Amino acid sequence: MNAITLVIDDDPSFNAILVRTLERRGHPAQGALDPASALDLARQSRAARVVLDLNLNGSSGLALIPELLAINPDCRIVVLTGYASIATAVDAVKLGAIQYLAKPVEIEAILAAFDDDGPDFDVMAPDEPLSVDRLEWEHIHRVLNENEGNISATARALKMHRRTLQRKLAKRPVRS
């Protein structure tokens, strides 16, 4: 019997579809919509695999990584996000995630991530440097993550008006 995969995502439709898809592929799965129920399920099932959304109703899913690993140190965690950034990818891997994937994502990519030995850092550097807009976007998200998603604290740290920061955060990531 395969180990349990825990899907932690606050979108009920996405969560249910991913759980159902994993089960159809022969991977028993359970879904949790919030951090508290996720930790309860992790304790009960000692999930060996976790698919973790980066944003859980406005709070950072990264905060769950150490708690999930404390419950099961051998747990393999894949972080999913709709707004990928280099800063959060690095943070996720530093905290113990084995992979960081941008939504939309195919089930094959998730399953492959669990089978990989870890993130591939032998990637060639891009020929072109990142644009100033992209660097700004990355920096804002790094500071936001350092402030655990607190918009007001992030705005103060960036010496920026809160509404300006909210406007910048509402935009899609700038292309590299």
Q: Check residue 118 and give left, alpha or beta (phi > 0: left; psi -120 to 50: alpha).
A: left
> Which pTM was predicted?
0.67
pLDDT digits (tens, 9 = 90+) for 42-69: 999 888 999 999 888 877 889 999 999 9
Q: What is the pLDDT of residue 122?
A: 40
User: Distance between CA 159 and CA 54 in Å, rounded?
Assistant: 25
Q: Which domains does the chain have, with CATH numbers?
A: 5-115 (3.40.50.2300), 132-170 (1.10.10.60)
Q: What is the pLDDT of residue 151?
A: 87
CA 73 to each of CA 39, 69, 79, 95, 125: distance values in angstroms, whole numbers, following the listed order: 14, 4, 16, 12, 32
